[in-house]
Structure 1
Amino acid sequence: MTFGPLRRSPLAGQAAERLRAQIAAGRWPVGTKLPGEIALGKELGIGRSTVREAVRDLAGAGLVESRQGSGVFVIATEPVEDLTTRLRRASAAEVYEVRNLIEVRAAMLAAERRTDEDLAALDAGLAVRAAALGDDAAYIDADIAFHGAIVAAAHNDVLTDLFSVFQVTMRPGLFDLLAVMDSRGMRVAVADPGADAHAAMVAAIRAGDAVEAGRVTEAELAVSMRILRGGAG
C-alpha cells in the first residue's frame, strides 16, 4: 500500500493525518515498528525533517512512542483526547455529575479554610448573581464566578485548576438548564429558584460547618441534574 506524494501545505500536518489513518486502519498494529524516516519520506514524497515533525505530532496524540536506539513504535490506534476536548463533547448531565465530585468537596474545604477575603468574595458573588437576573448570559457568568469563588476558598490549587477546566462546558450546560426550566415554566413563579440554596452555601461556609456546606451544595447540584435528566426539580 502506498500513499502518493503530498503537494499541499502544511506537509507535516498532512503527513501526520495520512499516517494516523493508516494506523487506525491497522496497517501497523499496536506494538509494531514504523518504517524508518527515509522509507516513510519516500512513500509520502517528503523530506526526513518533515517526517520527524509528523511523527512528533503522532507522539503528541499518544499514537506512537520513540524508543531510544530501537525506532518508533505504535502504542495506540486512536488519539488520546485531552480533557478540554473531551469535555466539549460531554453532556450537561455528565458535567454536573463531575461538578458534584469537585464542588461538594470544595465547599467542605472552604468551610474549614475560608478567610475574611473569601467570605467577602462570596457575599459579592451572591449580590452580582442576584443583580444579573433577567439577563441570562450575565446571570450564568455570575453563577459560574460564584461557584468559582467557593472553589477558590478551598485553597487547593488542584481543585481550582480542575474547576477552571470544567468552565469550558459549564456555560453551555447552564444555558441548557435554563432552556429546560423555561420549557416547563419553572422560572415564572420564582425568579431565582436557586437563590436560597446559594445563600445557604455561603452561610454554612461562614459558620465553618463543612458537613452542611457539602450537603447544601450536593442538594443544589442534584436538583439541576434531575431537571437536565427530565425529572422534577
Structure 2
Amino acid sequence: MSSLGPLRPSPLVEQATDHLRAQITEGHWPVGTKIPGETTLAKALGVGRSTVREAVRTLATLGLLQSRQGAGVFVIAERAAEDWPTRLRRAAVTDVYEVRMLIEVQAARLAARRRTDEDLVALNAALTARRAASAGADAEFVDADIALHRAVVAAAHNPVLTDLFTEFAPVLRQGLIDLVDLLGLRAGEPNHGDDTHDALVRAVVSGDAESAGRAAQTELETTLTRLRAA
C-alpha cells in the first residue's frame, strides 16, 4: 500500500473515501485484492474504525468494493459505474430519442385506453399552451412541446413510463432547442408541428389507441430524422 498519511479533521468520511478510492483507481489495490482490515486502515488514516466503515460502505455502493462474509472486503472494479442520469447526459441525443420513441408510442396507445376526464382537460390545456408558446422564444416553445408529451405519458397511468420520461426530458430539452435553432424550424412556421400534435391529442381524447400510436410515431420519427441530419 502507498503511504496514506493522516487526514485533516473534517470531513473525515469524505476524505477517507477519497483516499481509499485512490488506492483502487491508481492500481495500488487491483481488482480481486482483499483490502486491509478496518483497524489497519483506521490507524493508517488516523481516524476511527467507524469512519473507515462508512467509507468502505460508500465505495461498495459505488460498485468498487464488496464485502464477503467471513473473508473480508475485496476490490471488484477500478471505476465506479455511472448512474442512469449521468449516462443519459453523456448519451447522444439521437440515441435518447430512439428510446423515447419506444416509450412514447406505447404510452400514447395506453393513454387512449386509460385517459380520465382530468387527463382530457390536461391534454387540451397542454395543446393550447403549446400553441400560445409559438409566439415566444425557442426555449419556451420547446418547454411547451415537452409538457404536451408529458401530459400524454401521464395519461397512460404507468408510473414507470412517467419516471422514464422524466429522466429523458432534460436531455431532450437541450437537444430540441439546439435543433430548432440550428435548422430554423420555426422561422416560417412558429407553431412547427401543430398538425401532428393536434392529431396525437385528438386520437388520445377519442380513445383510438392505434391512431394515437401512429400519430406519436409519425411526429417523433420526423424529429428524429431531422436530428440525424443536423
TM-score (norm 1): 0.89
| Percentage of pairs with the same residue | 58
Letter in 2 for 1:142: A
Deviation at 1:222, TM superposition (A): 1.7
More displaced stretch, 16-25 vs 33-42: 16-25
| Aligned twin of 2:5 | 4
C-alpha contact 2:85 2:167 (8 A) present in aligned 1: yes
Work out whether 1:98 is the aligned partner of 2:118: no
| Aligned twin of 1:30 | 31
More displaced stretch, 103-112 vs 209-218: 209-218
Deviation at 1:8, TM superposition (A): 6.0
Alignment: residue pair count: 228
Letter in 2 for 1:154: A
The runs of 4+ residues in structure 1 deviating greater than 3 Å are none
| Aligned twin of 1:86 | 87
For the residue of structure 2 that corresponds to 1:229, the secondary structure is helix
C-alpha contact 1:109 1:154 (8 A) present in aligned 2: yes
Assess, with a 3 A threshold, how the Cα gap between structure 1 residues 158 and 103 changes in structure 2: closer, same or farther.
Answer: same
The CA deviation string for residues 108-142 of structure 1, in whole angstroms up to 9 with x for no partner, is 11112112221221111000011011233322222
Taking the aligned partners of 1:101 and 1:2, their CA distance within structure 2 comes to: 52
C-alpha contact 1:100 1:218 (8 A) present in aligned 2: yes
Superposed CA RMSD: 1.8
More displaced stretch, 119-128 vs 220-229: 220-229
Letter in 1 for 2:214: R
Deviation at 1:20, TM superposition (A): 1.7
Deviation at 1:57, TM superposition (A): 1.4
More displaced stretch, 84-93 vs 99-108: 84-93
Taking the aligned partners of 1:180 and 1:72, their CA distance within structure 2 comes to: 52
| Aligned twin of 2:178 | 176
C-alpha contact 2:138 2:181 (8 A) present in aligned 1: no
Taking the aligned partners of 2:63 and 2:42, their CA distance within structure 1 comes to: 21
C-alpha contact 1:107 1:205 (8 A) present in aligned 2: yes
Taking the aligned partners of 1:200 and 1:141, their CA distance within structure 2 comes to: 19
- The equivalences for 1:1-233 within 5 A come to 1-7=2-8, 9-133=10-134, 134-182=136-184, 186-230=185-229
Deviation at 1:155, TM superposition (A): 1.0
The CA deviation string for residues 146-174 of structure 1, in whole angstroms up to 9 with x for no partner, is 11110111111111111122223232222
Structure 2 unaligned spans of 5+: none
Taking the aligned partners of 2:177 and 2:58, their CA distance within structure 1 comes to: 35
TM-score (norm 2): 0.90
Taking the aligned partners of 1:64 and 1:57, their CA distance within structure 2 comes to: 9
Structure 1 unaligned spans of 5+: none
Taking the aligned partners of 1:228 and 1:63, their CA distance within structure 2 comes to: 37
Letter in 2 for 1:222: E
C-alpha contact 1:12 1:53 (8 A) present in aligned 2: yes
C-alpha contact 1:84 1:168 (8 A) present in aligned 2: no
